[in-house]
């Protein structure tokens, strides 16, 4: 069912987010605290760095290898600092029918588009929806779809909601595009008579913005077989403050809202100290803005 991590703030060493914390993203591949499955179907990260020769073009690393055994990722994480990133470990059903390959790894980001995209969840009966989805996706994005996942199709549908997806987008414009994307998916599901619970936690980063959405279609409605992971609403948490790191013998965010310049969003809290973490409400999007020199995390309800 995947685990996702997004960050926007002061430049931070990738190792501090991916490896060092008590429940870091890499540890969530084999020992997630809020999910009863392993996430061994690949890893991907898209990260922006202000010291880069081209700060608006992110660094991307994706591999089907299990990240905990990946020495290249570990070495890179010890020398790269990023002020914005989106990282994803892929979890899939234990089935021979599942396709594991580079084309199905998140985050997705098409050439010329600043927005990177990741998904945590599963669109039930996605195969039945493809024809209708193709009609709703702009041809220039439909032809770019390389993988077989519902996630990449959702990304192409999301980009289709913008007049100029290559342009810099305001945070609320991204939220609006996500809302339109979910509305299209809702219409297609209704038209096809699909009403089985389907999670679509969505994440967007572009080097300047961070948007995360916690949403499920028809929560509580199940088909003939139900996975234990579907019985609870997929978790999504965030924390914000002045500095995330090792403080007073433990990993935590310090500084509080009054001096916040950094925001972390994660499928589950990264630290044992959870008092500074807040759960993103169900059926809502979190977006980050800058006000009076500090970053502010806002949530907006999605009525879809």
Predicted pLDDT at 58 = 96
Q: Does residue 107 have a cis bond before it (omega within 30 degrees)?
A: yes
Compute the distance between CA of residue 185 and CA of residue 61 in angstroms, rounded to an integer.
Answer: 29
Predicted pLDDT at 288 = 92
What one-character-per-residue DSSP string does 177-238 give?
A: HHHHHHHHHHHHHHHHT--S-EEEEEEEE-SS-EEEEE-EETTT---SS--GGGSSPPP-EE
Least confident stretch, 67-76, 95-104, 208-217: 95-104
Compute the distance between CA of residue 134 and CA of residue 43 in angstroms, rounded to an integer.
Answer: 27
Q: Tell whether the model's pLDDT for residue 29 goes beyond 60.
A: yes
What one-character-per-residue DSSP string does 94-158 give?
A: S-TTS--SGGGPSPB--TT---EEEEEEE-TTHHHHHHHHHHHS-HHHHTT--S--HHHHHHHHH
Q: Label residue 192 by pLDDT band (50, 70, 90).
A: very high
Name the region of 303 (left: φ>0; alpha: ψ -120 to 50; beta: rest).
Answer: beta
pLDDT digits (tens, 9 = 90+) for 111-134: 999 999 999 998 989 999 999 999
Average pLDDT over residues 180-192: 98
Q: Tell whether the model's pLDDT for residue 190 goes beyond 80.
A: yes
DSSP reduced 3-state for 23: coil
Predicted pLDDT at 256 = 76
Q: Tell whether the model's pLDDT for residue 100 goes beyond 90.
A: no
Query: For residues 141 and 159, is the Cβ–Cβ distance under 8 A?
Result: yes
DSSP state of 176: H
Q: Label residue 170 by pLDDT band (50, 70, 90).
A: very high
- The residue ranges of every structural domain in the chain are 3-301
Average pLDDT over residues 272-289: 93
Predicted pLDDT at 57 = 92
3-301 belongs to which homologous superfamily? Answer: Aminohydrolase, N-terminal nucleophile (Ntn) domain (3.60.20.10)
């Amino acid at each position: 069912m995947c685990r996702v991590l997004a960050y926007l703030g002061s430049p931070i060493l990738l190792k501090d987010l991916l490896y060092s914390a008590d429940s870091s993203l890499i540890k969530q591949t084999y020992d997630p605290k809020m999910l009863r499955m392993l996430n061994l179907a690949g890893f991907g990260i898209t990260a922006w760095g202000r010291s880069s020769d081209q700060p608006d073009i992110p660094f991307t690393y994706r591999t089907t290898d299990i990240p905990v055994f990946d020495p290249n990722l570990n070495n890179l994480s010890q020398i790269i600092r990023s002020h914005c990133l989106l990282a994803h470990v892929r979890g899939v059903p234990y089935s021979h029918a599942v396709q594991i390959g580079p084309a199905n790894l998140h985050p997705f980001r098409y050439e010329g588009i600043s927005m990177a995209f990741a998904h945590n969840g599963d669109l039930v009966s996605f195969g039945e929806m493809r024809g209708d989805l193709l009609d709703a996706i702009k041809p220039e994005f439909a032809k770019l779809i390389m993988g077989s996942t519902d996630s990449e199709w959702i990304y192409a549908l999301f980009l289709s909601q913008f007049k100029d997806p290559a342009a810099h987008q305001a945070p609320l414009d991204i939220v609006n595009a996500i809302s339109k994307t979910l509305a299209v998916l809702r219409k297609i599901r209704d038209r096809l008579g699909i009403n089985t619970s389907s999670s679509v936690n969505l994440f967007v980063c572009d080097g300047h913005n961070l948007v995360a959405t916690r949403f499920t279609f028809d929560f509580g409605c199940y088909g003939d077989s139900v996975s234990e992971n579907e019985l609870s609403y997929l978790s999504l948490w965030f924390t914000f403050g002045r500095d995330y790191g090792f403080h007073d013998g433990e990993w935590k965010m310090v500084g509080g809202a009054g001096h916040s310049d950094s925001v972390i969003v994660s499928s589950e809290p990264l630290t044992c100290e959870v008092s500074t973490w807040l759960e993103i409400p169900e059926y809502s999007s979190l977006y980050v803005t800058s006000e009076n020199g500090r970053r502010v995390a806002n949530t907006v309800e999605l009525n879809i």
